[in-house]
Structure 1
Amino acid sequence: MATQHSRSAARIMMAPAVFLLLVWMLVPLCMTLWFSFRNYLPLRGGDLGFAGFNNFTRFVSSSAFWPSVLTTLIIVGGVLLISIVFGVLLAILLDKPMWGQGIVRILVIAPFFVMPTVSALVWKNMFMDPVNGVLAHLWRFFGADPLVWLQDASVFSIILIVSWQWLPFATLILLTAIQSLDSEQLEAAEIDGATPLARFFFISLPHLSRAITIVVLIQTIFVLAVFAEIFVTTGGAFGTRTLTYLIYQRVLESQNIGLGSAGGVYAIILANIVAIFLMRIVGKNLDN
């Protein structure tokens, strides 16, 4: 049992790391808040003084603001849906004994370690190219005209690219949860005459609920900030401009750091709203 002296010593040893972590997090946040209230144009005079809430008003009144928020939520929802559904199916499949099981698991998890820019380039040039892409040849094989994915189905294409990278993460977490399931429960249900679907919906799926909520929470935090895939493929065109990409455009095109910082504050608010909503779901599942 830890004594008061040992707990105090642990706090003292952890203090430098905690301090550095807080500085690492708080300094950029404070700078963002500071610049959001300034009229800061680095290429047109620098800091031109206090702007009040003008940057916030300009950013939220932009015609691109609400569409970008909607696009962000659609991409997050689509990625979560694909990751959870196919993650559960892959986890169940990988849990079954098979030849070369270790190699198959490595291949399934491998996309998670590919950089977003690389995966986006692979999908753009190898799969979704309307002339030489794999999908274009597949369409022609069946006698159909190839689809210009990044133009005709742009949002779905981004969802597909991001899902391909995050599906291994969901599979890994869900596979770990499935392996912790007591096999005796499944065997008893099978002896009682339960069908495979009944065993899945009434035993396996409830057991996976906590793992699913953790996957949803973690993936949402990261997918809300998706940027590289959009930058490499569509450049924000064809309705794929998310809130993060809108902030990038405002800073790069107008060279207005204050306006971009105000957008960053809105992004923080959106992320916190989604995180609080998801944390309530996670808390309810963990309490059950």
Structure 2
Amino acid sequence: MKFNMKLVQASLVAAMATASAGSMAAVFNDFQVSEGSVPGSVVNTFTADKITGNYVEVVSFDGAGNFATSIKWQAGQYVANDGTTPLTTQLGSFGSSGYGLYALLQGTGTYSTNGAGITTFNFNPGGSLNVWIDPDANTSFTAPATGAGAWTTGNTGDPDYLIASGALFGGTGTLDPTLSSCKNGGINCGSFGTSTSFLLTALGSQYFTAPVPFYNVSFESGQLNSFVVAGTQTINGSLDVVFGVPEPTSIALMGLGLVGLGVSLRRRKQA
């Protein structure tokens, strides 16, 4: 098979330009939720474009530039109109119709700290993401001993059900203890952003009902509170989720294109 280098280069440039243009636009993709699919909930369908929530993370640093993290995220609210209008739903509400939505994420990555004490984090591709519905909002959580372990759950009889799964594509984060808001163990000490694949289960398709097929990528943005970058730490902060593009197929094609370019270049050098 003969590589057309100009064609591959042009395809990569176009794909990256499309992704870049999409990231510049402050517009979140709409999706539809049917709460009537949750046992015990009242029939209610609404359109949102963002999910807000809180996370607790157990993260372990090995002192050699690597970390492992295990995150529990609990959704708090759906938001519409490009993240500007909180919606009144049954998520997190009290009473017989209230329910919970949570995700458990495990991943690894690398980190480095500069002379100013600012630490940069880079997430590795892989790990695992699982999103669950908690019908009676009564699930209890037990943290792992280290970031390499998994959160465990328990409840009082009603089963939670898996609605989506995925894995990390990657992401970055920054912790800046020099910020005024971070002094004396404060909040808003940094931020992070990750992207994951997102595959609905059959039950998940009854909850996230549009678009069809549903978005197969989720984007997470979060805020870091103060912590020490050493050993095993338990930290917390806010984390919001939106869905959309670029699709995993585009990312895969970009990766294959880069591999193809590398093979072609090596062949040229050998020739």
Q: Shorter-chain TM-score: what band?
A: under 0.3
Q: TM-score, normalised by structure 2?
A: 0.28
Q: TM-score, normalised by structure 1?
A: 0.26
Which of the two has higher C-alpha Rg?
Answer: 1
Which structure is richer in relative contact order (CA contacts within 8 A, separation 6 or more)? 1
The answer to which structure has the higher strand fraction is 2
